[in-house]
Amino acid sequence: MNPAKTLAEKDLEYIWHPCSQMKDYETLPPIVIDHGKGVYLYGEDGKEYIDIVSSWWCNLLGHCNPEINAGIKEQLDRLEHVIFANFTHEGAIRLCEQLTEMIPKGLTKFNFSDNGSAAVECALKMAFQYQYQTGHPERTRFLCLSEGYHGETVGALSVGTLDLYAKLYRPMLIDTVRVPAPDCYRCAYGECRDSCQCQCFEQAEKAFEQYAKEACAMIVEPLLQGSAGMRIYPPLYLQKLRRLCDEYGVLLIADEIATGFGRTGKLFACDHADISPDILCLSKGLTGGYLPMAITVTTDRIYQAFYADYNEGKAFLHSHTYSGNPLGCAAALAVQNIFRQQPILKNAEQRTRYLNRRLSEALEEHPNVGEIRHIGLIHAMELVQNKQTKQPFDPKERMGYQIYQKALDEGLLLRPLGNVLYFNPPLVITEEEIDKAVDRCVTAINQVL
């Protein structure tokens, strides 16, 4: 190893970064972060970045949050990990107890894993096996929404429908039924998100009529299709879907990995529609963005379908080495305590109004900002070539990526989704920090467009 090399140069010698064309790093080398505090990250050179994307949506309550730090440190000197089959520990038990009060009603059984994709895989297998063990071995397929994203492992990728991530791998994937998702910005029915009756739901009805008999479950990202470009659809759609699933005996899996823990203005996106799924996937915000942990939560009804004498062969033989990791549980418990003791949602609601006003004032009239949409603190700006026709930019121009680069110069981590720029900040962001972030964002946009 050559000691004269910078850390960034050494990084490129060894590291294959996620979701990256590594050749891009020739012009935009990896940024070495030394430490973080609240919404800020600091480079080794001391440069400040506002983490407006919550480091891939997981940082919920700021970097190096003193209370979460303390929770993990305390656990660290007690127990770092223990096999979770037949063994347990206080942190996991207390966490489930607390989560039960927080998550949608009726979800009482918690199956731990260590990342979002794993939580989705677990949900799919659970749904499949549930149907099998309750007299429906013919129900083998999954329904999902177009433009959905549920992670990168083979099962999760199969129920995801973003061609960008999945198309190449199609021959490896399981066959699913795709229901065309609501597309509120470019609504084919000429309706508007805030007032429509979800006419587009007829697409789901059609798909259920044709395929529901062979389907064990439908999986959705409730209200917000994050990776698709922060596409937002009305709660009514979710209510209709809950009813339709019940009607056809199809389980509803809510992937709240991105939307959970206050991101959408309520604790969970399902709360907007006042529904409970049969299976709920949690991850990203669960540990405040500290440690990789995920939970697949389900109902007692589903749990009971697996509960039998061992030799009946009904057990859910699904496991991950790091299931229920005590450090992760300690971080998640600290997050729970913060939610209990501090008015996190109320503050986030005020900040939402403020951010909404600031972004609207700054960018609503911009000729290339087609729509500014938001749910909770999550705000997305869809960049278009033509605002009247909503014609998108050619993806090859990489407008979003160009703005991302400029924003980094300005001290804002604004990693886009294609040509959709978005803010999804830690819920504890202040008005002053919002001001700075909006100013930096506008400067970056104006430099490129």
Ligand X SMILES: *Cc1c(COP(=O)(O)O)cnc(C)c1O
Q: Closest CB to ligand X among 160 and 235?
A: 160
Q: Closest CB to ligand X among 120 and 267?
A: 120
Backbone φ and ψ for 113, nearest 5 degrees, come out as -145, -160
To which H or E segment does residue 381 belong?
strand 378-386
| Residue of the chain from 71, 226, 229, 260 that contacts ligand X (CB under 6 A) | 226
| Residue of the chain from 151, 222, 425, 426 that contacts ligand X (CB under 6 A) | 151
Q: Closest CB to ligand X among 284 and 415?
A: 284
| Residue of the chain from 129, 131, 283, 352 that contacts ligand X (CB under 6 A) | 283
Shortest approach of ligand X to residue 209 CB, angstroms?
Answer: 27
231, 184 contact by CB (below 8 A): yes
Count of residues of this chain found to bind ligand X when the rule CB under 6 A is applied: 14
Extract the tokens encoding 173: 């994937």
| Residue of the chain from 72, 241, 258, 291 that contacts ligand X (CB under 6 A) | 258
Partner residues linked to 112 by β-bridges: 295
Q: Closest CB to ligand X among 43 and 292?
A: 292
β-pair type (40-43, 420-423): unpaired
49, 43 contact by CB (below 8 A): yes
Q: Is 150 in the site for ligand X (CB under 6 A)?
A: yes
| Residue of the chain from 121, 255, 382, 433 that contacts ligand X (CB under 6 A) | 255
Q: Is 149 in the site for ligand X (CB under 6 A)?
A: yes
- Please choose, out of 113-121, 133-141, 271-279, 365-373, the segment that lies near ligand X by the rule CB under 6 A: 113-121
* Alpha-carbon distance values, 315 to 27, 321, 326 (Å): 52, 18, 24
- Alpha-carbon distance of 276 to 376, in angstroms, equals 20
- Alpha-carbon distance of 231 to 183, in angstroms, equals 7
Q: Is 117 in the site for ligand X (CB under 6 A)?
A: yes
Residue 47's Cβ-count burial label (10 Å; 0-12, 13-18, 19+) is middle
To which H or E segment does residue 348 belong?
helix 344-363
Shortest approach of ligand X to residue 191 CB, angstroms?
Answer: 25
Q: Closest CB to ligand X among 147 and 221?
A: 221
Q: Is 115 in the site for ligand X (CB under 6 A)?
A: yes
Shortest approach of ligand X to residue 6 CB, angstroms?
Answer: 29
- Alpha-carbon distance of 114 to 79, in angstroms, equals 18
Contact residues for ligand X, defined by CB under 6 A: 115-117, 120, 149-151, 221, 226, 255, 257-258, 283-284
